Chains A and B, each alone.
Chain A
Amino acid sequence: TQLLEQSPQFLSIQEGENLTVYCNSSSVFSSLQWYRQEPGEGPVLLVTVVTGGEVKKLKRLTFQFGDARKDSSLHITAAQPGDTGLYLCAGMPHNTNAGKSTFGDGTTLTVKP
Chain B
Amino acid sequence: DTGVSQDPRHKITKRGQNVTFRCDPISEHNRLYWYRQTLGQGPEFLTYFQNEAQLEKSRLLSDRFSAERPKGSFSTLEIQRTEQGDSAMYLCASDKGGQRANYGYTFGSGTRLTVV
Interface residue ranges, A against B (CB under 8 Å)? 4, 6, 30-31, 33, 35, 40-45, 48, 50, 88, 90-92, 98-106
- CB <8 Å contact, A99 and B107: no
Number of interface residues, chain B, beta carbon within 8 A: 30
Interface residue ranges, B against A (CB under 8 Å)? 4, 6, 33, 35, 40-45, 48, 55-56, 91, 93, 97-110, 112
Taking the closest CB of chain A, its distance from the CB of B58, in whole angstroms, is 9
- CB <8 Å contact, A105 and B40: yes
Of the residues A41, A45, A92, contact of B106 by C-beta under 8 Å: A45
Assuming the contacts A30-B101, A45-B104, asked whether A99 and B43 have C-beta atoms less than 8 A apart, the reply is: no
Assuming the contacts A42-B91, A42-B108, asked whether A92 and B42 have C-beta atoms less than 8 A apart, the reply is: no
Interface Cβ pair total, 8 Å cutoff: 75
Of the residues A6, A41, A98, A100, contact of B101 by C-beta under 8 Å: A98
Most-contacted residue by chain B among A44, A99, A102 (CB, 10 A): A99
User: How many angstroms between the C-alpha atoms of A92 and B44 in the bound complex?
Assistant: 13
